[in-house]
Structure 1
């Protein structure tokens, strides 16, 4: 086979001070089409992540000096690259903080290799625009001044571009496609991250909270995203009520 016919490896940045773990991740992902670049300090990781060369970033929370939270906080000022956080087992607080800072998803440090691959595929699938051509010409999804086009991977509010992470974009698209109808937390999580809902999993609620902040939506008097208590969420046209 001509080397030029082989699929190009997908660039992934792993930021973790555990060099052995980084090596294990690299060795596992390489046969699955990932080219892993490693950084072992938060400062070096942030600089590399800002380069725009990577499809995703796998970011450890606990690092000496600049920790993963600070890296993510600074990164989100200029980049929406998908970020998968590595958290200590059972540390729900770490997961929530990471999601609130703009992480797309998280993995406990006890992750299996299959789970890592599945989560990577999920967060990157949502961030890749379709190829040019007729299939890329998607119909706008509209709710009042909110407009989203999946083909161009662009969302605007009153003509201003919204800086959304891949998962936020996917959640908003899913809600817009079901405008006026309730989407359960279970269905939202399964559709946007390809994993099952756990009753203790607050990730969807955190992502929706971040979406509301970016939409300028007051949860007590929402213009767009309405909470259906105990069930999930419903998106309405601005001013349409619940």
Structure 2
């Protein structure tokens, strides 16, 4: 019997939830509906899904806060997530992407488009997982160390708490210090999704990444901006934390 990918649908409006469940089930998925954040946390903890669809405006908890709590659960960081919102404000989209969400869609939306987004995200996730066994990369330098098996990067010996995309960006930069990556390159290599291709996405993640690095070493600027080109990791970082 063919396994159907389990999709967690976290949406408090029953009409919208019914539509999403119908199109997902019709397309070969196994949707599980949660009307509240509390239900979602319980379902997710019992069995992490293949993907989660989160409504931003839930009755008991903001969708962005729920996203953080789900990611903190065992296996949560590996589960791709897509935000739904009734508001189309750019700030909502930027906040969602900064957190590390895989995609974002505003209401009203086409159910078929939603399913296409879900399929696209799962294809990318499977492709990344199937790329082959990951080897632990030795220390990139005294300043940064990269452990791909744990998806962890240390900065001056301190483990960084990174979102999925912050990790992807920094992983590229630390492996080739001085190499300038354009925004388009970062979008292609880290997001691998034309639907998310706009420069503000990269800039927003670079901003939060810089803030996390500065919290460890306030007087160091590891990520340099190449005006009009993109971003690179500085080659002249001090060997000791400032």
Shift of 1:92: 0.7
Supply the RMSD in Å over aligned alpha carbons: 3.5
Tell me, yes or no, if the aligned pair for 2:136 and 2:146 is still in contact at 8 Å: no
User: CA distance change for structure 1 residues 199 and 116 in 2, over 3 Å: closer, same or farther?
Assistant: closer
Aligned mate of 1:209, from 183, 207, 210: 207
Aligned mate of 2:230, from 226, 229, 232: 232
The 2-side partners of 1:198 and 1:73 are apart by 20
The 1-side partners of 2:159 and 2:131 are apart by 19
Mark the runs of 5 or more structure 1 residues left unpaired by the alignment.
none
Mark the runs of 5 or more structure 2 residues left unpaired by the alignment.
none
The 1-side partners of 2:149 and 2:189 are apart by 18
The Cα offsets for residues 197-232 of structure 1, whole Å up to 9 and x where unpaired, read as 878552222222222233336999653222223332
TM-score (norm 2): 0.74
Give the match's secondary structure for 1:216.
helix
The 2-side partners of 1:238 and 1:9 are apart by 50
Aligned to 1:67: 62
The 2-side partners of 1:69 and 1:201 are apart by 22
Aligned mate of 1:21, from 11, 16, 21: 16
User: CA distance change for structure 1 residues 85 and 199 in 2, over 3 Å: closer, same or farther?
Assistant: closer
Give the match's secondary structure for 2:31.
strand
Aligned to 1:92: 90
Shift of 1:102: 4.4
Q: Is 1:119 matched with 2:121?
A: yes
Choose 17-26 or 211-220, whichever is displaced more. Answer: 211-220
The 1-side partners of 2:61 and 2:224 are apart by 37
Give the match's secondary structure for 1:208.
helix
Shift of 1:233: 1.1
Aligned to 2:167: 169
Choose 113-122 or 73-82, whichever is displaced more. Answer: 73-82
Give the match's secondary structure for 2:140.
strand
Tell me, yes or no, if the aligned pair for 1:26 and 1:36 is still in contact at 8 Å: yes
> What is the correspondence of 1:137-176 to structure 2 with a 5 Å cutoff?
137-140=135-138, 142-176=140-174
Choose 215-224 or 11-20, whichever is displaced more. Answer: 215-224
Name the structure where helix makes up a greater proportion of residues.
Answer: 2
Q: Is 1:195 matched with 2:197?
A: no
Shift of 1:141: 6.4
Shift of 1:89: 6.1
Aligned mate of 1:57, from 52, 55, 64: 52
Aligned mate of 1:45, from 35, 40, 44: 40
